[in-house]
Amino acid sequence: MSNQSLQLFSMVPLMRAAEKSSLAGKHAAIGAFNVNFYTQAAGILEGLRRADSPGIIQASRGANKFQGGPDKIQAMILQAMKDANHTLPVSLHLDHGNEEQAPICVDEGFSSVMIDASTLDLPENIALTKKIVGYAHPKGVSVEGEYGKLAGVEEDVIHESTTYADPFLVPYFFNETQADALAVAYGTSHGPNKGAKGGLEKLAVWVVEKSYKGMTAYKQNLDHFLVSHGSSTVPQEIVAEINAQGGNVQGAAGIPMHTLQEAVKAGIRKINIDTDLRLGITATFRKYFNDNPGIEKTSSDILAPIKKALDEKPEAIDPRDYLKVIDIAHLRNNPAGTVLEEVMVLVQERVAAHVEMLVHKFGSAGLAGQVENISLSEMAKNYK
């Protein structure tokens, strides 16, 4: 199976399958998981396979830069799919793209892009989102926008507090831009510190509910979909594991699973997960070095710098912070047969298990066979 024969899907048929399942009484959303290196992608794919679930693999602008460009990310994802013989529906999505990066990712083989114009006033947001839609849709590539402001930091987008989306304007946003998906601000937040201890117990799920009802009234719900950003659950047992292994992660709290499930019932069809995977990967690396004292001496150019970076950054949870110290090409390829193989086997399993659990909770397990097999070229024709 060559990379050329591998198919990446627009997000639309994946989220449409989730919408149809929800209309039939089994509420569902598609999990969207951020990726930075090969083994993380392999773990995501394995978790999806175990659950027979479609899924979205996301790369932020930071991830694209980390790996040397979106072409490197796209090739890495296709290689991971080829190595795993992964044939379930997968989208490759640019997370929090801007006006410059979104068209580049369209040209470099991503099957979906986000344009985050949430810092702009609504008319300017709509205009820029519409511009990206005009560039992406002729190539069959789906587009996600953002409306409202989510508190926290995501790449270089910083909001001090949340500004809820106005649900009465959500159908208008879709109508004006023809975007396929929209991240609506309803109280979630980016990063590992999402609010009070134990997470945000009560979000403004009514924003999702009223937005979805409006979309349904205008018959938009089978072609346009709502997205939940900043939705990591931040398992406290993983935070505790990191700290027990020499880390120092303080104040970490996520979104309770029952709250996310309420949002899915209210109309969310895509849920973004990033921090959960970062935490799990970091816990795995720390435990590996503690369980194998002196192992770093076997590889002074790879394992030793990683361990040194972790020792010097007890607060680190982002793998890019301690993996950037090595040649990134090592992280772009299958680690089998290298000094990274042993730890990466553990990382892949950690990621796979968490992804499998989440997609079951999100209701998308078993939906892979319900996704319409439509190519990007066919999507392009449908958009016309």
Q: List residues with catalytic annotation.
A: 95
Strands (E), the chain: 30-34, 55-60, 90-97, 112-115, 142-147, 152-154, 157-159, 181-184, 225-228, 268-273
The span from the CA of 129 to the CA of 334, in Å, is 36
Could you tell me which of 170, 160, 152 has the C-alpha nearest to residue 232? 152
Residues 329 and 68: their CA atoms lie apart, in Å, by 9
Share in percent of the chain as helix, strand, coil (round to 5) = 50, 15, 35
Neighbours of 126 (CB within 10 A): 21
The Cα 379–Cα 138 span in angstroms is 8
Paired tokens of 6 = 């591998």
What distance, in Å, lies between the first and last C-alpha atoms of the chain? 32
Task: In whole angstroms, give the CA distance from residue 95 to residue 52.
Answer: 24
